[in-house]
């Protein structure tokens, strides 16, 4: 193995380097050819830097940069500001050194599920926002918040002004159980509950009925289910210091929930939650754990025979919570081999419905199919016909999120796979249409159209998966750009795009009275949230209403801090 050279790690931190205008030595290889003009000035020449943002520092380029000297700068629209969009922007802007990115977000505030999904008691997970801030600091990056593509801004109107459009809009709905009683009061989707405690404007008025009884049942055994369980049993004095919504703190302080049962249709070796999240639930003071018959699911030779990931999870489950059976105030439970069948309101002895909200949930017991290996992750089950009913004052369905087609996709010829809930793509991120292939007989790529993140792969995967996926998509866009294949507006071999980007569509947005939120405006919201959080002992007190957000950004006329204090945080 060749040793490149021994070099001392620099002793000055990166921010000092930047402030001193000291040039840090590069050590990695790049493929960039530096032309006489800088990337930024070249980009500016083609299209004046959009007025949306004030001048800022540039994203500096590293690694695997592709030369684009023969072409006009790549102008890319990214729809969605979650980790998929940001990580793609980060990588692409490093590789295509003159690429200019406009990132559209339907909410005023950025970061998608990092802000509105990741649990408030997982602040370290949200540290990826620091990276995203660095991306946003580039003069080649524009954040355009409060603009919903497909509603405020038509895809067809965007097309002439971009070389490429990247769909990174995640999953804005969730899967339904499709069983009777699913719409009864007291039945919630995990997605709306998560949005509620995280201060998502769409769900801040949810008012979950936490005080109607002691038992909550969560259907589904993924990490979202465990997030919901944790919020229901975690000590409130720990939660309230986080950025959890104040309306949630108020409602949780009145919660009567004491038992939380997390129900799966398969066994513990098939559950999709991960060991870290289970371990967390075992470590709360006065919170017990119960799972009947757990051992029956494990190999008779012992759990040490299982593969690493399953084995470590099984160990934590078997060990349970280190608290005495009688000493717990709250308890969480896991049940297996139960498929949801119906949700019922209260009935009298004559089986007549007398309640108007959820009272119980009925499951059909399942069994592993005869030829299944019950220790395998993909073991299948079938119904047994036997029913069990569990009392429940609240039911949460947590069986997965779901992406939906953006209005106007078909105007660009972009299909949507309703069954998989994704935009069909070639795994790398190029969108494919069943009729775009040679002679329109086979599937083929659509020029300049890409997808990334949950809308590309489906609604699973943690941030590392989303990041790797984004890097792949960025690499493929960079490769396509460097190989001169057709892009969005390539007509007869020449580029007919205006290259104006946001400046080309801005007027249609403004004409509707919509006020876009730029990065500076978001930073003002961010600052206001941290400051008012400090006053109440929280890391951040989010605005749970888009009007409040805009007001904090100084973008709405109705800005009235007094009024806001009085109304914010009320459930």
Ligand X SMILES: Cc1cc2nc3c(=O)[nH]c(=O)nc-3n(C[C@H](O)[C@H](O)[C@H](O)COP(=O)(O)OP(=O)(O)OC[C@H]3O[C@@H](n4cnc5c(N)ncnc54)[C@H](O)[C@@H]3O)c2cc1C
Ligand Y SMILES: NC(=O)c1ccc[n+]([C@@H]2O[C@H](COP(=O)([O-])OP(=O)(O)OC[C@H]3O[C@@H](n4cnc5c(N)ncnc54)[C@H](OP(=O)(O)O)[C@@H]3O)[C@@H](O)[C@H]2O)c1
Count interface residues toward ligand X (CB under 6 A).
36
Q: Which is nearer to another protein, 61 or 528 (CB)?
A: 61
Q: Interaction with ligand Y in 203-232: which residues (CB under 6 A)? A: 219-225, 227
Closest C-alpha among 529, 457, 475 to residue 129: 529
Q: Which residue is nearest to ligand Y (CB)?
A: 222
From 54, 156, 236, 309, residue interacting with another protein (rule: CB under 8 A): 309
Q: Is 461 in the site for ligand Y (CB under 6 A)?
A: yes
Angstrom distance (rounded) from CA 367 to CA 390: 19
**Residue 261 lies near ligand Y (rule: CB under 6 A):** no
Site for another protein in 272-291 (CB under 8 A): 274-276, 279
Structure tokens at 291: 């799972």
Residue 506 three-state SS? helix
Q: Phi and psi at residue 211, in whole multiples of 5°?
A: -115, 20
Within positions 315 to 334, which residues make up the interface with ligand X, using CB under 6 A? Answer: none
Q: Nearest-CA neighbor of 162 among 444, 447, 471?
A: 447
DSSP character string of 182-250: TTSTTEEEHHHHHHHHTT-GGGTT----TTS-SEEEEE--SHHHHHHHHHHHS-HHHHTTTT--HHHHH
84 marked as binding residue: yes
User: Do residues 193 and 228 make contact, with C-beta atoms less than 8 angstroms apart?
Assistant: yes
Binding mask 363-392 for another protein (x = CB under 8 A): ------------------------------
Q: Choose between 32 and 248: whose C-beta lies nearer to ligand X.
A: 248
C-alpha span between 499 and 510 (Å, rounded): 20
**Binding at 265: pick from ligand X, ligand Y, another protein, none (beta carbon under 5-8 Å per type):** ligand Y
> From CA 349, how far away is CA 341, in angstroms rounded?
21
Dihedral class, residue 400 (left if φ above 0, else alpha if ψ from -120 to 50, else beta): left
Binding partner at 131 among ligand X, another protein, ligand Y, none, C-beta below 5 to 8 Å by kind: another protein
- Sheet containing strand 394-397, strands side by side: 187-189, 394-397, 215-219, 259-263, 330-335, 287-290
By C-beta, is 114 or 528 nearer to ligand X? 114
Binding-site member from 152, 172, 272, 472 for another protein (CB under 8 A): 472
249 scored as a contact of ligand X (CB under 6 A): no
**Residues between 476 and 505 that touch another protein (CB under 8 A):** 476, 479-480, 483, 485-486
Residues numbered 516 to 555 that lie near another protein (CB under 8 A) are 530, 539-540
Q: Select 57 or 380, whichever has its Cβ closest to ligand Y.
A: 380
Buried b (16+ CB within 10 A) or exposed e, 401-439: bbbebbebbeebebbbeeeebbbbbeebbbbbbeebeee
The annotation status of 266 as a binding-site residue, yes or no, is: yes
Q: How many residues bind ligand Y (CB under 6 A)?
A: 26
DSSP reduced 3-state for 288: strand
Nearest-angstrom CA–CA distance, 26 and 509: 42
Q: Is 227 in the site for ligand X (CB under 6 A)?
A: yes
149 carries a ligand binding annotation: yes
Per-residue interface string for the shown chain with ligand Y, residues 403-432, x marking contact by CB under 6 A: ------------------------------
CA dist., res. 109 & res. 107, Å (int)? 5
Q: How far apart are CA 298 and CA 376, in angstroms?
A: 11
Q: What is the 3-state secondary structure (H, E, C) of 83-119?
A: HHHHHHHHHHHHHECCCEEEEEECCCCCCCHHHHCCC
Asked whether residue 239 is marked as a ligand-binding residue, the answer is: no
For position 518 contacting ligand X by CB under 6 A, the verdict is no
- Among 44, 49, 133, 148, which residue sits at the site for ligand X (rule: CB under 6 A)? 148
Which one, 142 or 335, has the nearer CB to ligand Y?
A: 335
Q: Name which of ligand Y, ligand X, another protein, none residue 16 binds, using a CB cut-off of 5 to 8 Å depending on partner kind.
A: another protein
Q: What angle do CA 103, 104, 110 make, to 5 degrees?
A: 85
Tokens of residue 152, six digits = 């405020």
Among residues 250, 468, 510, 566, which is the contact residue for another protein, using CB under 8 A? 468
The residue from 56, 58, 125, 184 that contacts ligand X (CB under 6 A) is: 125
* Number of residues engaging another protein in binding (CB under 8 A): 74
Residues that bind ligand X (CB under 6 A): 79-85, 104-107, 112-114, 117-118, 122, 125, 148-150, 168-170, 172, 194, 224, 227, 401, 406, 453-454, 461-463, 466
Binding-site residue ranges for NADP(+): 221-224, 265-266, 277, 461
């Amino acid at each position: 193995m060749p040793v490149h050279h021994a070099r001392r790690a620099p002793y000055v931190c990166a921010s000092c380097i930047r402030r001193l205008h000291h040039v840090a030595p590069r050590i990695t290889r790049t493929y960039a050819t530096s032309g006489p003009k800088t990337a930024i000035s070249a980009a500016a020449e083609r299209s004046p830097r959009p007025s949306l943002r004030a001048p800022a520092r540039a994203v500096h380029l590293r690694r695997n940069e592709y030369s684009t000297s023969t072409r006009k700068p790549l102008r890319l629209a990214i729809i969605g500001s979650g980790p998929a969009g940001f990580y793609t922007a980060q990588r692409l802007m490093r590789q295509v050194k003159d690429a200019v990115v406009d990132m559209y977000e339907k909410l005023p505030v950025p970061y998608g599920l990092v802000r509105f999904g990741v649990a408030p008691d997982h602040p370290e997970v949200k540290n990826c926002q620091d990276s995203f801030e660095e991306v946003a600091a580039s003069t080649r990056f524009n954040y355009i918040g409060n603009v919903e593509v497909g509603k405020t801004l038509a895809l067809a109107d965007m097309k002439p002004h971009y070389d490429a459009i990247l769909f990174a809009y995640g999953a804005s709905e969730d899967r339904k159980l499709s069983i009777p009683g699913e719409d009864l009061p007291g039945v919630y989707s995990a997605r709306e509950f998560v949005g509620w405690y995280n201060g998502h404007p769409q769900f801040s008025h949810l008012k979950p009925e936490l005080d109607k009884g002691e038992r909550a049942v969560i259907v589904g055994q993924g990490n979202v289910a465990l997030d919901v369980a944790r919020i229901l049993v975690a000590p409130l004095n720990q939660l309230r210091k986080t950025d959890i919504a104040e309306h949630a703190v108020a409602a949780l302080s009145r919660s009567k929930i004491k038992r939380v049962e997390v129900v799966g249709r398969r066994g513990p070796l098939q559950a999709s939650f991960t060991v870290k999240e289970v371990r967390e639930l075992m470590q709360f003071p006065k919170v017990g754990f119960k799972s009947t018959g757990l051992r029956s699911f494990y190999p008779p030779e012992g759990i040490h025979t299982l593969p690493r990931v399953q084995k470590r999870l099984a160990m934590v489950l078997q060990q349970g919570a280190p608290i005495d059976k009688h000493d717990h105030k709250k308890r969480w439970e896991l049940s297996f081999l139960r498929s949801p069948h119906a949700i019922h309101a209260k009935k009298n002895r004559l089986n007549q419905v007398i309640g108007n909200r959820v009272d119980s949930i009925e499951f059909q017991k399942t069994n592993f199919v005869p030829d299944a290996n019950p220790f395998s992750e993909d073991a299948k089950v079938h119904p047994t016909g036997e029913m069990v009913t569990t009392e429940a004052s609240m039911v949460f369905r947590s069986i997965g999120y779901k992406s939906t087609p953006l209005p106007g996709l078909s105007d660009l010829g972009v299909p949507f796979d309703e069954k998989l809930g994704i935009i069909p793509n070639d795994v790398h991120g190029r969108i494919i249409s069943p009729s775009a292939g040679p002679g329109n007989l086979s599937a083929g790529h659509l020029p300049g159209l890409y997808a990334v993140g949950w809308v590309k792969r489906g609604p699973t995967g943690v941030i590392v998966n989303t990041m790797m996926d984004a890097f792949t998509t960025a690499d493929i866009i960079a490769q396509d750009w460097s190989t001169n294949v057709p892009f969005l507006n390539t007509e007869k071999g020449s580029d007919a795009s205006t290259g104006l980007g946001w400046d080309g569509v801005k007027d249609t947005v403004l004409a509707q009275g919509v006020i876009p939120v730029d990065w500076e405006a978001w930073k003002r919201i961010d600052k206001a949230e941290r400051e008012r959080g400090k006053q109440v002992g929280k890391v951040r007190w989010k605005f749970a209403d888009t009007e409040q957000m805009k007001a904090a950004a100084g973008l709405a006329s109705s800005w009235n801090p007094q009024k806001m204090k009085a109304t914010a945080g009320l459930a």
